[in-house]
Amino acid sequence: MLNTTKKLKWLLVLVLIFGGFTIYKLFEELAHNPAYQEHEWIFKIISEFGLFVSVIISAGYFHHWFIAAEEHKESEISLRETLAKYVDGILLNSVKRGFSGITNKEFDFSQIMQGLKSGDSVYWLITFDPRFKNKSRELENAIKNGVHFRMLILKADCRIGELRATETTGFNPHEFSEYSKLFKISLEDVISRIDETITGSLGVFVYDGLPCIPLFIIIHNESKKVDVYNSYYLSEPVSKMPYLHWETELKLNNLTSFESDHWNIADLFVDYFEKRWAMEKEKLYDTTGNELVEYNDFIYAPTAARKKCSNLFNV
């Protein structure tokens, strides 16, 4: 539906086109009338002016609707290509290396959860997220909808947690440890509501090593695309930090592409998570290679899917 402004514009155009043509015809006839011979030159000027207005307005709108629209599309394509090359050059081949953008501020956990589909897999490396208690239902719903989560979370009361707490604004070691405990309890609460009928799964290793960087990796089952979000452990809590967004194609092998000319940052992040996961998974076995019956730093659901929950998507 055309709004009032557009209707008025169209009306003005029609008035100018037909009005100009009418003036042209009217004064053209008057110019050839012997009764007005002494004013012939004036009538011709007015007549030509009317024709000029009618033709110019018609040509302008023909260009606007049929030519300018196509030129606008071509300009947009050219501008995007130019900007991509310019940005890529400034950010050291960022587009080629998978860079997709930066979140506005905080990582929008809810929006990410809503975009997940059945069969997708999520790898999440973090210390803890103080907001998670209010977001745990979204994780639970995603699992019940068929999404598989593999998480690495920091152990409470470990030395690394103490060191991280001292450099984080608004935290002391005790508070940091309590939040770590609460994070695990929230995950255990989710696990308690995941039964054998659920198609998704959750596997969580509790680590006490270096956290390195916060990572949130999404492997899309349908498109075989991988989205990676990473931030940094600085003075602000990671829950308040923006995240960088990277993209890549899913590669179903363990070979790193860093030595080739086609390496991608997202691939390196995925490779790092897989290695960290493998390090924690080794602790499920004793020195003779037998699987430990009890290992408190590995929690998972459903309960009958221990082996599945200790594995990653493409490993």
The answer on pLDDT for 310 being more than 50 is yes
Given this model, what pLDDT does residue 218 score?
Answer: 96
Residues 3-11, mean pLDDT to the nearest whole number: 67
Is the pLDDT at 192 greater than 60? The verdict is yes
User: Residues with Cβ < 8 Å from 110, sequence gap 6 or more?
Assistant: 135, 138
Q: Which residues pair with 248 in a beta bridge?
A: 226
Mean pLDDT, residues 29-40: 70
CA distance 246 to 227: 6
Can you list the alpha helix ranges (DSSP code H) found in the chain? 4-31, 40-62, 69-90, 109-114, 136-144, 159-166, 173-191, 265-281, 306-309
**Higher pLDDT residue, 3 or 126?**
126
What per-residue confidence (pLDDT) applies to 315?
A: 44
The secondary structure of 3-52 as a DSSP string is -HHHHHHHHHHHHHHHHHHHHHHHHHHHHT-GGGGGGHHHHHHHHHHHHH
The confidence score (pLDDT) of residue 91 equals 59
Q: Give the percent of the chain with pLDDT over 70.
A: 76
Q: What is the mean pLDDT of residues 190-211?
A: 94
pLDDT for 84-123, tens place per residue? 666 666 555 666 677 877 887 778 888 889 999 999 999 9
Tell me what the pLDDT averaged over the chain comes to.
83
